[in-house]
Every structure is written in structure tokens, then in C-alpha cells.
A and B are shown apart, each in its own frame.
Chain A
Amino acid sequence: GESVGLHLPTLSVQEGDNSIINCAYSNSASDYFIWYKQESGKGPQFIIDIRSNMDKRQGQRVTVLLNKTVKHLSLQIAATQPGDSAVYFCAENRTGRRALTFGSGTRLQVQP
């Protein structure tokens, strides 16, 4: 069946290092991808999105890379800060489908 999955449940990095969070998806029809950040006790917060006609998109300190050939998505966070500690979810959608499909999440822990 279709799925959106994450390679690592927990990622621990040192403050100031770059973080890379990975996500795999199985449906080749997926054409819209979003990364969300969820802090404890809060709802998911939009970080960045990318459509399938792109392979890279940059935001403030974040970059999303999309490799449609291997159905892989990654979120790169530059100069990781303690405030980046949270659970990160990737989500996907495709034309004609209304709801997002979320992965199970990766917990990012930033060590001071």
C-alpha cells in the first residue's frame, strides 16, 4: 500500500551543525510535499513545501530536496539551534486527493 515513511525515529545533532532528516514515499503519483515541525503540546507548523516539478527549494536556514527517481525527500537545517528541537513530519499529496498523508515523524534533538 501507499506510505510515507521516515528512515530514523530520532536524530541527535550538536548545536551549530547541519541536520538532515529523510523521508521516503511509495506513490509515484505524489506531486506535492510538505515538511512540518511539531513542538511538544503544539500543532504541526508549516516549514517548507515543494512541488514535483522542482528538485530543490530553499527557505530561511532550511532546504528541501526531492529525488523523484528514488522517491526520496529530505529536509536540511543549517546551523541547527536548540529551538529546532522538535518532531519533524513529512507529508505528501497528489492531484485529486484532499488530505495529506503524514509520515510517523523524526524527533530532532539538538545538543548544546
Chain B
Amino acid sequence: GAGVSQSPSNKVTEKGKDVELRCDPISGHTALYWYRQSLGQGLEFLIYFQGNSAPDKSGLPSDRFSAERTGGSVSTLTIQRTQQEDSAVYLCASSPGVAGRDTQYFGPGTRLTVL
């Protein structure tokens, strides 16, 4: 079956521009996560969605970052006024059940480069 997909795979933007990153989770998965991975580093949690509950935004690094999940499926991560330190791979994951207690399946990521 289809896994988690993300688009675009690569995004190059200029400092100060806004970007939108998209995630399509595995069908039927109720939990969706966004992580950020800097070069050679582990994964940094950004935001989490579970069903119709309010998202857990505790990992967002600044108010320039926001995310939404429409219809309990597709999610968009938006970064406004991008900075060079935003350059990283942005990974999306989904899981089928209770948050943090079920295996998270990752997409291939979007590599963001801010010039």
C-alpha cells in the first residue's frame, strides 16, 4: 500500500520568502507528526495532530512556523519569512492510533534550502 508522501522533495527559496510543505499520511492513520532534521542530526519534533483534537504545537521553533491538517488527512507546514537557519529536511510521519504509542511511519522528507 501507499506510504507517507511529501511534496516537494526539494525546495530552494530566498531568505524572507514563505514556503509551504505538504504531507499525505497513510490512509486511515489518525496521528500526524512533523519533524525537522538538520544535517547530520537527529529528528526534532515540531507539531503533532491527532484526530479532531487541538494540535500539539510545542515543538514549533517560532511563530513563523504553522501547520494545518485539513479533513483529518493532508497536512501543510508553512514557514513564513524564511531564514537561513530554517534550512533542513522536514519529515512527516503518521501513525494509526494512540499518539506516541504506535509506530510512526515516515515520508521521504522535503529538503528545504534557504539562500
Q: Do A and B come from one complex?
A: yes
In the complex, what residue of chain A is closest to B103 when comparing beta carbons? A46
Contact B108 A100 (CB under 8 A): no
Contact A102 B42 (CB under 8 A): yes
Any B CB within 8 A of the CB of A43: yes
**How many residues of chain B get a CB closer than 8 Å to chain A's CBs?**
25
Interchain Cβ contacts within 8 Å, total number? 61
With both chains docked as a complex, state the minimum distance between the C-beta of A58 and any C-beta of chain B, in angstroms. 17
In the complex, what residue of chain B is closest to A105 when comparing beta carbons? B42
- Per the 8 Å Cβ criterion, residues 97-112 of A in contact with B are 97-105
Q: Give Cα distance in the complex from A99 to B43, angstroms.
A: 10
Any A CB within 8 A of the CB of B99: yes
Q: Give Cα distance in the complex from A34 to B48, angstroms.
A: 18
Residues on A lying within 8 angstroms of B by beta carbon are: 32, 34, 36, 41-46, 49, 89, 91, 93-105
A34-B104, A102-B35 known, 4 other contacts, Cβ within 8 Å = A41-B108, A98-B56, A100-B43, A100-B100
Residues on B lying within 8 angstroms of A by beta carbon are: 4, 31, 33, 35, 40-43, 45, 48, 50, 56, 59, 91, 93, 99-101, 103-109
Q: List 8 A-B contacts (CB under 8 A).
A: A34-B103, A41-B108, A43-B4, A43-B91, A99-B45, A99-B59, A102-B42, A105-B40
